[in-house]
Structure 1
Amino acid sequence: MSAVVSGATDGPGGGEEELHRLAVATLDANWEHDHTVPSRTLYPHQWSWDSAFIAVGLAHVRPARAWRELASLFRAQWADGRVPHIVFNPRLPVGAYFPGPEFWGSARADGAPAAPTSGLIQPPVHALAAWLAYGAAPSEAALAALRRLYPRLVAQQRYLATRRDVGGDGLACVVHPWESGLDNSPAWDAPMDAVPGDPAVMRAYRRHDTAHVHAAHRPTDLDYARYVAIVASYREHGYRDDGLARWHPFLVECPLFNAAAGAAEHALARIAPLVGGDPGPHRERAARITEALVLRLYDPGTGTFQPRDLRTGRLVPARTVLGLAPLILPDLPAAQVDAVVAEACSARFGLARRMDRPLPSYDRTAPDFEPLRYWRGPSWMNVNWLVRYGLLTHDRADLAAGLRRSMVGLVATAGCHEYFHPDTGAGLGSPSFGWTASLLLDLLAEEREPAGTG
């Protein structure tokens, strides 16, 4: 793969121009009247953090469309401020995707929007995406769009801080593995073991993912049975967050999710002066989130961040790419920066100190590492992009450059796939995947100082 990587990144023309055209064509093909579907084959609706990542790349080539992407997502924001992880396209027939709107029943929940949605959320990368989109193509129209979006982004952050701080120590908890974005990560194995599940339950449903992708590459039926059980618990309580600690079976503080929340406050501190807001409260909240992350989720023994299972009070021992995500915080203390960079460069995730292979989603040296199965080993463009952003934020440009080469090399090798084999670069999951194309465009764009620094 290294030869392909080298050929793809020798200069601004040639291979990179061809990749640029591929990425733009992928996004254009996935555009759906006011948003971009992640893929035409497997994900026919709008996904929350997909749209955020997609807006980052669209800003370089279709800036007006980037703002339509974010605006369409936030039109489905709930009254309590949550941004649902799926907004369903009502034009599609019932049964076009599982779990579809009939499974979620959002119309029966207080404060849900008119549009059918899920009741869950995803990592709040949207404020960072909005700030980067504005920085990529500033204009009066972009500023007007940012001004309209700002109060919705603030409401999203308020929801996390007030409704989801179940532990009471300043971090938001996720109530389902899907909310982390890393659906079947080994990080969730221990918390999921406490969730009752019977694979036979899935006989009542039709999974669409395994019709498009080999079952060996996807979560198991037991995983899905437990996913369904967790949703059923939340749905039966009207997707309310009061009293979660008393009755909900899955409550975890996730390092990536909370790092995204902290990065969002840093981004909002940058946005606020442009739209007539006060940056001070955002800076204060960002500092509190970073402090809580270090206090609650950093493990000095392993030198990485790990999720905390609120049901047991214990850190989850699995070493996953989630633990590298706090690098995106510009105020992460130097000791933690150094430790996380060392983890990223270790045999578990990187190669020596050059970052010339893409980061896997799970420890390469673990006995249960699975390089083909979804979040249990493969490389994903979005989390690699986040870690690269963090490396740039903390002045590790040499490592960021190596990671960029490896990420561009993935697409040069296999196209805009959903995820990739972390060693061979083979494309896995859905082809023509939205955030892969979009974040490739961001990598191919002219280098700029990360907006989250300072």
Structure 2
Amino acid sequence: MTSLLETPVPAAADALTLRRGAARVLLANWTGGSTVPSRGLYPHQWSWDSAFIAIGLRHLSARRAQRELETLLGAQWSDGRVPHIVFSPAVSLDAYFPSPDFWRSSRAGAAAGAPAGTETSGIVQPPVHALAAWLVHCADPETSRRRGFLPRVYGRLAAWHDYLTGPRDLGGGGLAAMVHPWEPGMDNSPCWDGPLERVEPAAPGSYRRADLDHGQPAERPTDLDYGRYVRLAADYRDSGYADAGGGHAFVVEDPCVNALLIASEHALARIAAETGGDPAPHEERAARLTGALVERLWSPAEGMFLSRDLVGGHLIAERSVAGIIPLIVPGLPPEIVEALVATASGDAFRLGRIPMAPSYDVTGHAFDPSRYWRGPAWFNTNWLLERGLRQYGRTATADSLRTSMLAAAQAGDFAEYMDPFSEQPRGARDFGWTAALTLDLLAAGRPEEDPARTDGPSDGVQA
């Protein structure tokens, strides 16, 4: 079994034009300390976006990729949480909602340890960051060691994982729980329809949706969804962003979030060893998390992992791509790996029969090929699947998926997501993680882009 943390295998062909296009996107979206997902729709720094972006940036400038992660972690709260948005003071308040004056992190989050000098949101996103940090280090170990990159970020990453496995173990079963649909990163997934029915939406006139200034309504969450998102965020803010004590209307354990936590815990073990620490505690925690993931979220009947509604006390009977992403977890039982691969290639996700895996079961009652996380295919989730398939020796399937992803990135102008059947681009164009992960897929097998390279930036990117 090839480790997720090792170098990607060679790409099939040289695609210099595509590489230059992806580099152009990342250059255009760079703000001086971090990269915005898109200049219009998402004008600030997003947490898991920055992790994926750093994974691609490492092929252009390892130093810039390091800075991407350092900037994000510089806004970490003292309780360990890494906020899902770090707001730029240079961006007007009406450019994005919820804006800094909604979250009021430096005041409402003071008791939870929000930084006083930087405005952020108060919720989190999936923990890809330690995995990203390790891959960034591997891109240029010499520069990483000279700059002290891993020693600087290790403590922050460990605190982030401590937060997720401590205060956020709201179910008591060893997994991280999410308290808002934005936290698992798949905002309007049909998985959340049931839990959200408990939430009274905020009054429509109490806020303005800035996302519709840039996105098509048919490709975005509905107004009802958004009203519920605002209500949950406001309630969490008004509680001082407290996790303990109950009272959350929305609390779920998500398989993608916890799979990424496990993959990143394995990366933390590598980072600990590299920095002279003890990898054993991280390896032990990864093993405990893997056991809890299987025990609490595996559904033999569905052949995949399901999310758990901690308020309702049951698994959620919806088939999301989040349920097959645990292929990135090393050391799963062979029968689970076989079932996940079968589910990925079956009628629900049709991997190998359509270009990229959809975000939701194409036979499901709520499938919509255009609306955000209710069906479209996304590049970050398919990148994770490609890595997971390769990890478990499904090389031909991984190669086919990689080829499809590169073709889609080029044809769709690095779109945020796409219709899984028609391949029509949806959402924002020149999207950060689409461009970044395209670079990562292209870099494999190109000697000048080997993760061990130490010859510095290329394509005109200056650190």
Distance apart, 1:12 and its partner CA? 2.9
Distance apart, 1:137 and its partner CA? 2.6
Distance apart, 1:205 and its partner CA? 1.6
Instruction: Write out per-residue CA displacement over residues 319-378 of structure 1, whole angstroms, 9 at most, x where no aligned residue.
Output: 010101111111211111111111111121125xx3652000001112321000000010
Match in the other structure for 1:3: none
The answer to which structure, 1 or 2, has the higher relative contact order (CA under 8 A, 6+ apart) is 2
8 Å contact from structure 2 (residues 181, 187) kept in 1: yes
Q: Percent identity among equivalent residues?
A: 52
How far apart, in 2, do the equivalents of 1:334 and 1:132 lie?
Answer: 26
Distance apart, 1:208 and its partner CA? 1.4
SS in 2 for 1:49: helix
SS in 2 for 1:443: helix
Match in the other structure for 2:333: 333
Match in the other structure for 2:297: 297
How far apart, in 2, do the equivalents of 1:157 and 1:45 lie?
Answer: 24
Instruction: Write out per-residue CA displacement over residues 132-191 of structure 1, whole angstroms, 9 at most, x where no aligned residue.
Output: 112223224356211211110000000011110011110010000000000000111111
Match in the other structure for 1:282: 282
Distance apart, 1:395 and its partner CA? 1.4
Q: Give matches, 1:99-114, under 5 Å.
A: 99-108=98-107, 109=109, 110=111, 111-113=113-115, 114=117
Match in the other structure for 2:230: 228
2:163 corresponds to which letter in structure 1? Y
Match in the other structure for 1:93: 92
8 Å contact from structure 2 (residues 180, 250) kept in 1: yes
Match in the other structure for 2:6: none
Q: Which runs of 5+ in 1 are unaligned?
A: 1-8
SS in 1 for 2:166: helix
Q: Give matches, 1:380-391, under 5 Å.
A: 380-391=378-389
Match in the other structure for 1:12: 13
8 Å contact from structure 1 (residues 202, 224) kept in 2: no
Match in the other structure for 1:204: 206
Match in the other structure for 1:33: 32
Q: Which runs of 5+ in 2 are unaligned?
A: 1-9, 452-463
8 Å contact from structure 1 (residues 355, 403) kept in 2: no
2:123 matched to 1:120? yes
How far apart, in 1, do the equivalents of 2:140 and 2:60 lie?
Answer: 9
Match in the other structure for 2:425: 427
Distance apart, 1:206 and its partner CA? 1.6
8 Å contact from structure 2 (residues 188, 373) kept in 1: yes
8 Å contact from structure 1 (residues 415, 431) kept in 2: yes
TM-score when normalising by structure 2: 0.91
SS in 1 for 2:436: helix
How far apart, in 2, do the equivalents of 1:395 and 1:18 lie?
Answer: 30
How far apart, in 2, do the equivalents of 1:275 and 1:416 lie?
Answer: 36
Instruction: Select 2:150's aligned residue among 140, 146, 151.
Output: 146
SS in 2 for 1:139: helix
8 Å contact from structure 1 (residues 38, 435) kept in 2: yes
Distance apart, 1:11 and its partner CA? 5.0
Distance apart, 1:94 and its partner CA? 2.1
Instruction: Select 1:169's aligned residue among 170, 173, 176.
Output: 173
More displaced 10-residue stretch of structure 1: 207-216 or 32-41? 207-216
Equivalenced residue count is 434
Instruction: Write out per-residue CA displacement over residues 385-424 of structure 1, whole angstroms, 9 at most, x where no aligned residue.
Output: 0111111111111111111011111112211111111112
8 Å contact from structure 1 (residues 355, 399) kept in 2: no
More displaced 10-residue stretch of structure 1: 251-260 or 402-411? 402-411
Instruction: Write out per-residue CA displacement over residues 262-310 of structure 1, whole angstroms, 9 at most, x where no aligned residue.
Output: 1111111111111111100000000000000000000111111000000
